[in-house]
Homo-oligomer: A and B are copies of this chain.
Amino acid sequence: MEAPACEVLQTFYNRGEAANEMNIKDIAKISGVGISTVSRVLNNSGVVSDTTRARVLSVVKKYNYVPNSNARNLKKIQSNTIALMVKGISNPFFANMIKEVERQVHLRGCPLMIQQVEDGVDEVGAAMQLIKEKNLYGVIFMGGTYDHSEEEFRQLGVPFVLTTITTLKDVDPSAFSSVSIDDVQSAYKATSYLISLGHRHICFLARFPFRENTIGSRRLLGYKKALEEHGIEYDPALVEDCEYAPSFGFAAAKRLLNKNLGVTAMFAASDAIAIGAAKAVLSSGLSIPGDVSVVGFDGIEMAEYYHPSLDTVSQPGVEMAHVSVEILFDLIAGETANRHVVFESMLVKRGSSRKIN
């Protein structure tokens, strides 16, 4: 997939003029008012007579003046910037959520800073750095598993929300806000469904990093719980570790099929994995759902347009993103009670699973 770069043009470039030449002082002088009056007009704070307000606004408009946010943030010791710390920007499920977060934050007039947290880096520490540096307004953490202590969160010093992040061990819920689904219950639901269709050899594909309490391990709990309740013995050989992307799902499913364990159903902890797994099944000459039933997780659009359309445990990603921003801005507005919103996941049946004998 390497493609050579090809230089088509090499021409001279003249750096333009300074972007913003006007400052509040200039506006004040031109308007014939004091500096603080301009400030009050722009911030709708304090009293300003209507005529003065109109005069100032017309000058602001005429010169296309935009206040310098660095100066403002410096003085107020608080910027209006929101940061989004996210694991896996390119995962379609997150991409959709990010889109909504951006939309909602933007709607509230705040710029959004996005930082990707690679696996293994200390996301809260990274956020801490940004907060100190930029005097952020608030932070949304999205995706992953957090092992941070109550104290670490407390030290952030600005409002924050944990979205689709597995609940932390030993952290007082009053110390943070969160938006999530019940992963255990959701996986339980999907697995139970497959069992109800008569499946006994159901494999489970998810990511199991070294840490405890990850999304993968929580969904595994639900999977196990369903098996147990129906008297099916848990077989570790049916569980494959794989990252949340089609290529990994493909490889994992291939490995599973090669084990010849008589698998009749596959449950993947993400649609991306499910799509890869489905491909492995189909390209092995097996059919879905004829030979193998497949159920994914997330509810991304691509799963619906796969052929066959894939069953999935759908999360209301857009709503979750929306609520995350709402909670964050409530906290910023002074709300003191942390909230924990747990959304309901939905088992969407599209025909990639079928009843067997």
Contact = CB atoms under 8 A, between A and B. Distances in A.
Contacts of A11: 173-174, 337-338
B70 A134 contact: yes
A33 interface: no
Interface string A286-313: 0000000000000101101111010000
A112 B126 CA distance: 14
A278 interface: yes
B116 A114 contact: no
Interface string A82-121: 0000000110100110110011001000011111100000
Interface of A is mostly: mixed
27 contacts: A1-B346, A3-B343, A3-B346, A5-B343, A6-B341, A6-B344, A8-B342, A10-B339, A13-B177, A13-B336, A16-B156, A16-B157, A16-B158, A18-B77, A19-B132, A20-B157, A66-B132, A68-B132, A70-B79, A89-B95, A90-B92, A102-B115, A112-B113, A113-B114, A275-B306, A306-B306, A306-B307
Interface of A: 1-20, 66-71, 73-74, 77, 79, 81, 89-90, 92, 95-96, 98-99, 102-103, 106, 111-116, 128-135, 154-159, 173-175, 177, 245-247, 249-250, 275-276, 278-279, 282-283, 299, 301-302, 304-307, 309, 314, 316, 319, 323, 331, 335-346
B66 A133 contact: yes
A307 B336 contact: no
Contacts of A69: 133-134
Tell which of A114, A128, A305, A306 has the most Cβ of chain B within 10 Å: A305
A32 to B, nearest CB: 23
A73 B74 CA distance: 10
B157 A18 contact: yes
A18 B157 CA distance: 6
A111 B96 contact: no
Contact of A17 (B92, B157, B159, B316): B157
A8 B178 CA distance: 10
